[in-house]
Structure 1
């Protein structure tokens, strides 16, 4: 395929371990590029030339240090790859690899899929062999941030890696749904309105939209923040809304019925 994407140039920053990891990553990307482009079917000399061409300046400097028995080895991609492996010391440090694996906990904001992917990548150099999935399962149990889900995993019989991932995903979906529901409720929440109480069976007409429309029943409340209240309407719907403790008049002034009841009676009698 002509449009296969080649690997980026090899970057050799950091210590020897970092450089070895960078080479192993580049090596895998190079092989994938060969297959995607169809060059893996070409002669070894073509593949060797492509390797030197794509590896970049830093990688080419390493290539320049190699010693070959004859010119044929320079055109043998297998020989080149072996020499790069020897140069970077790609033999894994199993102890260090397992330390990194066992110390890897789920980070804040990291999903279970992202966490499991990170564990799988770390396990590649741990030489767990047939026990790889069991160790990943154990790391999920020990490393997830949600302690409630961890307790559930510990109580689950015959827990496998796939079952552990499924339980964690269900919890993530549930938490996301609860968060969205709370946000939607918070956005729609507002003061309780007298109109709504009247619609549920409260006595009396709906609260007027202005003092002039309500007539002589309107009086200015003693607290400046109350704006206006309709005393006649409050006295009629008191029993319907008093259990709420709060209501809103036509001007959206939030009032406490319990505190205003005595005031309502005094004004109504005048």
Structure 2
């Protein structure tokens, strides 16, 4: 090895206890490159092994000495290869092919991410257990579907014999041409700015910003202008409002009808005719791209990709998309003000009216152009197209909150419906003879949180959900409470919303009942040798009465006033152990039943043994007044 230079070893794989910062396959590849570069393969077997153990770090080295050689390790010829094999078996993460492909399919090009960087990320994910038959085709298809380069999909669809290489070259050319065009625009803008600003250097402009020498003429008080002040009647900077020189004193404004000012300085102009109201936008910038849902409508017959955001009152596109795709449609002054959920103002470039088509739906919509951010499909266009969210797709129906169906789920077996069908009907049951009383700490201090602002687009759905909860007796309206928690809204996978109460500050002052939850390995041990299973979803928190003296603890504030729960709330810290204790008492004596919170597992070695345990459990739950969720699973041989 040449003298006078040295190479740094790769960073330690696991220097301290915890999770490695890099996956093993990547690290061992760096180590192999390092040992090759320093000529280490000419070292003795013991020296190479020692070098490996030194580089992996103290914690990984400690773990290594606890490992034992198995038959597969013993097949290796040298101690160095045996050590590599043992560490590889320990730290190589086995990724299921489906999970690896799901991660690959979810990866989309991030805003500002270059084409080459995105392709590199896809290549790395494809090598991480995807096992594609044709890796290049998979990367090509994923790139075309999830790229953020506007307009590339339409242009690529017309190409034949489209390989990954041709796709990447084409995308690079588009990316570079847009960068060059942006550079030219910036250069022209800078030149125009210089030419306009040059006007400010005329002697007349300088006379307003700095005093003239004493020998020059000083204007009389009647004609002298004060920097930053002007006449609000006519707009002149040569005098103030009540000066005899103002000709607007006797004039009448043609806009507001008031006397004493010209219409072009009327303050009512910008507030009466242009701005309607504040609209909210929940998602303007986001880091959670993996879970986003996009749709591809035609806006003025131009294919467009928008992220669906039911929390945004308006449909938005960013300035870059407008100038690249819609610049032929002139912008008009905005008719609304946009604010984010944190009340920050969103800068609007302008708006234009567009004809929108999605599948067989048509609508007219005002598209607002914003300075930066993600292009969004807002509630205005969702409602105009009569769409709604269902899971990860848009369907052609009006937006409503979900209501229970009158009939039980057809997946429930007939032999269960015949005996226990009434337990699956809509509505909540109430556990007989049980009432939860929450115990608070002796030094508990009541907390009152302020109202969290709710986007106007969500208010109809929230109102409907509040009405439903009050009608079902789950909540009740109150006038005052010492304890007040804030309300937040979450969307379920279906179109239904969930009202969540943030009770963290209240729960911190509760005395939590200690009742152990069973460990998963203990539950699995009980299920050994079982061949038939059922999973009962009780969802019974709302089926437990809350004592009257404890109800004020669940009070929450909404745009309609104060409410409190009459039944146990999901956000209460004392609810899980209390419910686990109740379920344990109900099922402890039953054979073939295991309980974990509101999930009950029924099992048996034979179908007769399984059904006997199932009927016993359902009879017990029915006797105390519980109803069941249609998500239950019956008569399966794996779970």
User: Does TM, normalized by the shorter one, top 0.5?
Assistant: yes
**Contact 1:105-1:144 within 8 A present in 2 as well:** yes
**Contact 1:10-1:59 within 8 A present in 2 as well:** yes
> What is the distance in 2 between the residues matched to 1:8 and 1:110?
27
> What is the distance in 1 between the residues matched to 2:143 and 2:38?
38
Counterpart in the other structure of 1:148 = 151
Residue 34 to residue 19, structure 1, CA distance change in 2 (3 Å): same
Q: How far has the Cα of 1:138 moved from its partner? A: 0.6
Counterpart in the other structure of 1:42 = 43
1:128-207 alignment runs, 5 A limit: 128=131, 130-189=133-192, 190-191=195-196
Deviation sequence 1:166-220 (CA, Å, 0-9, x none): 11111111111111111111111145999xxxxxxxxxxxxx988xxxxxxxxxx
Q: Which runs of 5+ in 1 are unaligned?
A: 195-207, 211-221, 226-270
Counterpart in the other structure of 1:123 = 126
Counterpart in the other structure of 1:11 = 14
Higher fraction of strand: 2
Residue 14 to residue 123, structure 1, CA distance change in 2 (3 Å): farther
**Contact 2:13-2:21 within 8 A present in 1 as well:** no
Q: How far has the Cα of 1:77 moved from its partner? A: 1.2
Q: How far has the Cα of 1:103 moved from its partner? A: 0.9
What value does the CA root-mean-square deviation take over the aligned residues? 3.4
TM-score by length of 1: 0.64
Residue 116 to residue 126, structure 1, CA distance change in 2 (3 Å): same
**Contact 1:20-1:89 within 8 A present in 2 as well:** no
> What is the distance in 1 between the residues matched to 2:183 and 2:21?
45
Q: Does 1:56 pair with 2:57?
A: yes
Q: Secondary structure at the match of 1:96?
A: helix
Counterpart in the other structure of 1:77 = 80
Q: Which runs of 4+ in 1 moved over 4 A?
A: 12-15, 18-21, 191-194, 222-225
> What is the distance in 1 between the residues matched to 2:10 and 2:128?
22
Q: Secondary structure at the match of 2:128?
A: coil
> What is the distance in 1 between the residues matched to 2:87 and 2:21?
10
Q: How far has the Cα of 1:146 moved from its partner? A: 2.3
TM-score by length of 2: 0.28
Larger Rg over CA atoms:
1
Counterpart in the other structure of 1:66 = 67
Q: Which runs of 5+ in 2 are unaligned?
A: 205-233, 238-639
Residue 223 to residue 91, structure 1, CA distance change in 2 (3 Å): closer
1:187-266 alignment runs, 5 A limit: 187-189=190-192, 190-191=195-196
Higher fraction of helix: 1
Q: How far has the Cα of 1:21 moved from its partner? A: 5.5
